Structure 1
């Protein structure tokens, strides 16, 4: 399965919007994405240190279903970096130009483009 950059952003936004206690899992139902696809991306985000999750296999007859519980600090930082639509599009396009979609690279690109957009909007160098 390929990394879906837009799904990564959707998952992060959904986790942030959740009112669940961090000790509970968050059920994600995102339009146009299967539970398997969402679970896979939650696992990737967990491996990247962006979210904490739990294997909810006990709920699904021993089929691994990765369920997020909360964003990590790194996750909040990443989401704050890519929240702005213009920064997100620049980040995605930049990752596609270099042929890499690693979450680590996307975080670094997001930071760089975020600084660029802030400079353009505010006229200050960060």
Structure 2
């Protein structure tokens, strides 16, 4: 399964917007399967953006995790990625290259936020 940065963003937004510090019990994202969500939660856990519990079993069709909460780094990323304008600008810039690493996504988002604030780096 290929990493989907739109799904990454939606998972982090959903948890960030939840009333409590914990992730919703049954995290659902429109347009995505439980398998896709579970796999991306595992990736986010591995990247240090989520605390999660791995839930993969022998009968699982894909590796999976159940999200618990955002980490500091998860909050940092979604704070930069939540704005639709900034997200669209980042996607447009990155689309010129195709797939890039997560660190490039984070860097592009951070730079775009600074530009939108009028901060020169």
Q: Name the TM tier (shorter chain).
A: 0.7 to 0.9
Distance 1:57 1:43, change over 3 A: closer
Structure 1 residue 46, shift from structure 2 partner: 1.3
Tell me the TM-score normalized by structure 2.
Answer: 0.83
Give the equivalent residue in structure 1 for 2:51.
Answer: 52
Give the equivalent residue in structure 2 for 1:32.
Answer: 31
**Separation of aligned partners in 2, 1:21 and 1:87:** 25
Q: Is the 8 A contact 1:42 1:67 kept in 2?
A: yes
Alpha-carbon RMSD:
2.3
**Separation of aligned partners in 2, 1:84 and 1:19:** 19
Gaps of 5+ in 2: none
Pairwise mapping of residues 99-114 of structure 1 onto structure 2 (< 5 A)?
99-114=98-113
Structure 1 residue 39, shift from structure 2 partner: 0.9
**Separation of aligned partners in 2, 1:74 and 1:8:** 13
Q: Does 1:118 align with 2:117?
A: yes
**Separation of aligned partners in 1, 2:68 and 2:28:** 14
Q: Is the 8 A contact 2:77 2:106 kept in 1?
A: yes
Cα displacement string for residues 3-26 of structure 1 (whole angstroms, at most 9, x for unaligned residues): 21211111001111234564x874
Tell me the TM-score normalized by structure 1.
Answer: 0.81
* Higher share in helix: 1
Moved >3 Å (runs of 4+): 19-22
Pairwise mapping of residues 83-98 of structure 1 onto structure 2 (< 5 A)?
83-98=82-97
Gaps of 5+ in 1: none
Q: Is the 8 A contact 1:5 1:92 kept in 2?
A: no
